[in-house]
């Protein structure tokens, strides 16, 4: 083997030794982060098509609470989303999507 081939082989081994733990860490933390999300948050991150279906399912599963003055669909939306905690705020993209979805919901209801 030439010196160049040995150098290239060594470079490939070092690259794998550095990238493998980084990729593994990213995969584990991403899976853990997704496991802690609500189905609605997961749908918002996954895209518009699944989000609409998840919102619809959340509305069906969560009946309006007695005594609430908000419309049942909006009440279901409110209860489907947990309040963000100060120690773990929502990512900017998720928060923006949620605000946009709430605005569309308000417009649809006529609020």
Which pLDDT tens digit goes with each residue over 27-79? 888 777 777 777 777 766 666 555 566 666 666 666 555 555 555 555 555 55
Average confidence score pLDDT of the chain = 70
Ranges 5-14, 49-58, 92-101, most confident: 5-14
What is the Cα–Cα distance from 55 to 63, expressed in whole angstroms?
A: 13
What pLDDT band is residue 8 in, cutting at 50, 70 and 90? very high
- Band of pLDDT at residue 12, cut at 50, 70 and 90: very high
Q: In this structure, are residues 33 and 75 in contact, taking their beta carbons and an 8 Å threshold?
A: no
Residue 1: which pLDDT band, with cuts at 50, 70 and 90? Answer: confident
- Phi-psi domain of 29 (left: phi exceeds 0; alpha: psi -120 through 50; beta: other): alpha
Tokens of 38: 């609500």
């Amino acid at each position: 083997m030439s010196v160049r081939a040995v150098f290239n082989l060594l470079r490939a081994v070092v690259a794998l030794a550095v990238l493998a733990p980084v990729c593994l860490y990213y995969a584990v933390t991403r899976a853990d982060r997704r496991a802690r999300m609500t189905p609605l948050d997961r749908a918002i991150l996954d895209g518009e098509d699944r989000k609409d279906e998840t919102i619809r399912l959340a509305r069906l599963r969560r009946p309006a609470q007695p005594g609430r003055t908000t419309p049942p669909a909006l009440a279901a939306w409110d209860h489907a989303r947990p309040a963000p905690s100060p120690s773990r705020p929502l990512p900017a993209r998720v928060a923006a999507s949620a605000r946009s979805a709430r605005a569309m919901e308000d417009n649809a209801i006529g609020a």
